[in-house]
Amino acid sequence: MVATSETFLIALSYYPTYFSSLVKSIEAFRSRLEIAAAVIVLNSRAVSVHGVRSALRSKSGPFHVIEHTNEGGEFGGYQAGLDFLRHDAGKIGNVLILNDTLGIHYEFYPEHMNAMRRHIDDEAPSQRIVGRIDQADQLLSLGGLTGNRWVRSNLILIDAAALKSIDHRLYLPEIAGWVRESADPNEFFGDEVGPATKARTAKWLFEAGGWYDAAPLSPANQKRLSLKARSILQELYLTMRLEHAGTTIVDLELHEDEMKRILWKRRTSKLLRKIGLDVRPRRSNVA
């Protein structure tokens, strides 16, 4: 990942109410980076191609818009975007991936963009993935691989060597079979999911205090929770596959002054929410 490598952008849209926020993220990155080509992947029929083109035409430079069926969730959409870029541009360099939950489900400020810009501009060795890293206390196992950390899937920078190390496969369809659409927690996960991974993912999905839309598993929600579980496993397994292939996992580190500014912004945002002046889109519960 060197300064001379071109950067390509994949932006995924699923929630119609989040689209204006996604446009702002795209604009912000394009104002800071040299983007060789951009593709916006529509992962929901509720988001119209015409609406996207109208919103982006005069704001974000040249771009492509493609529709995807939402098969494979966000990772299926990322794969569709990557396949399109590879076919359209041939050889590609760094790929910056983001989705419309950025800044809504997780905080996202100009400081994060500036940190990403530093990683793109530096001349560190290639074959790495950059993003915000989460970590588990226990070693997790999945599909025969192990690891205890993963890169959050709503903001990723991955270079050409890292993509090549996993045969350009951001998404693995077979992971869908590792989660069963069952209302029985004991039958929900397949044998490919290790005990610690099962316990952690079940707690995140089925208990209060985990995922914002968590609920006890039942026949009424088993489909929605199985879709979310598959996305979680795709996220975990992508990092595991990359590490197994020798890719360096790099945290999106912020400078001390950036952290101080973000702390102030968090406090301000909390106050605005308290007095009813938070203008961010509300989190959507659409599966």
**What ranges do the domains of the chain cover?**
7-274
Amino acid of residue 32: R
pLDDT at 216 over 60: yes
Q: CA-to-CA distance for 21 and 8, rounded, in angstroms?
A: 20
The per-residue pLDDT for 2 is 37
pLDDT at 18 over 50: yes
Q: Any idea what DSSP says for residue 283?
A: P
- Strand ordering across the sheet containing 128-142: 64-67, 35-42, 7-13, 94-99, 145-158, 128-142, 248-251
Helices (H) and strands (E) in the chain, counts: 9, 7
| Length reported for the chain | 287
pLDDT at 188 over 70: yes
The per-residue pLDDT for 1 is 39
CA atoms within 13 A on the CB side of 51: 14
Neighbours of 81 (CB within 10 A): 26
pLDDT at 215 over 50: yes
Specify the DSSP element, H or E, that contains 274: helix 256-274
pLDDT at 269 over 90: no
pLDDT grade, residue 172 (50/70/90)? very high
Q: What is the pTM for the complete model shown?
A: 0.89
The per-residue pLDDT for 133 is 96
For the segment 23-54, what is each residue's pLDDT rounded down to a tens digit?
A: 889 888 888 888 999 999 999 887 778 778 77
The per-residue pLDDT for 212 is 87
Q: CA-to-CA distance for 267 and 52, rounded, in angstroms?
A: 33
Q: Which residue has the higher pLDDT, 279 or 140?
A: 140
Q: CA-to-CA distance for 47 and 69, rounded, in angstroms?
A: 12
The overall average pLDDT reported for the chain is 89
H helical segments located in 93-188: 110-121, 160-165, 185-188
pLDDT at 209 over 50: yes
pLDDT at 158 over 90: yes
pLDDT at 3 over 80: no
The per-residue pLDDT for 34 is 87
pLDDT grade, residue 80 (50/70/90)? very high
The per-residue pLDDT for 30 is 86
CA atoms within 13 A on the CB side of 264: 6
Beta carbons within 8 Å of 223's beta carbon, 6+ residues apart: 181, 287
Beta carbons within 8 Å of 280's beta carbon, 6+ residues apart: 21, 103, 104
Q: Does domain 7-274 have CATH number 3.20.20?
A: no
